[in-house]
Amino acid sequence: MSKQELAVLGQDGAACCPALLTAPMGQDQAEELAKVFKALGDPVRLRLLSMIASQEDGEICVCDLTPAFDLSQPTISHHLKLLKQAGLIDSERRGTWVYYRPLPAMTDKLAAVLTRPQAADLHSPSEPAGAAS
């Protein structure tokens, strides 16, 4: 697997992501990351993201999201807007409806940030570049 592929998968922590578990995080990185975690810090948004991310055809109509909740359309739209602002989903209007699709790069980044280096080492037996010099 190429280094590029690893980076795309968000597992190349050192290259792609601020360190959370291995070094004190700076204020700027913490503010950026906190916005995304805050977007996930609501059960309705987590359920919306899980519905969007688990679609086999890669997208879902807002008309199929709303009926799953006992909430108004504007409320659902507001939660979707926050997920979109956090970079977790994208949307496209086609005709009457808006369709939502996941942006896995952001969840990959969060997964990498939360993965302990020991766990990553177990998955990647090769030494990091420069470690043997």
Which residues are near a second copy by CB under 8 A? 1, 9-11, 19-27, 30-31, 33-35, 37-47, 49-51, 53-54, 68, 102, 104, 107-108, 110-111, 114-116, 118-119, 122-124
CB of 116 to a second copy, least distance (A): 6
The residue behind tokens 């504007």 is 74
Q: Which is nearer to a second copy, 29 or 77 (CB)?
A: 29
Distance CA 110, CA 104 (A): 10
Closest CA to 52 of 41, 34, 66, 32: 66
Distance CA 50, CA 68 (A): 12
Nearer to a second copy, 78 or 116 (CB): 116
User: CB of residue 47 vs a second copy: minimum separation in angstroms?
Assistant: 5
Sort strands 89-94 and 97-102 into parallel, antiparallel or unpaired.
Answer: antiparallel
Contact 113, 107 (CB under 8 A): no
**CB 39 to a second copy: min, Å:** 8
Whole-number minimum distance, CB 67 to a second copy, in Å? 12
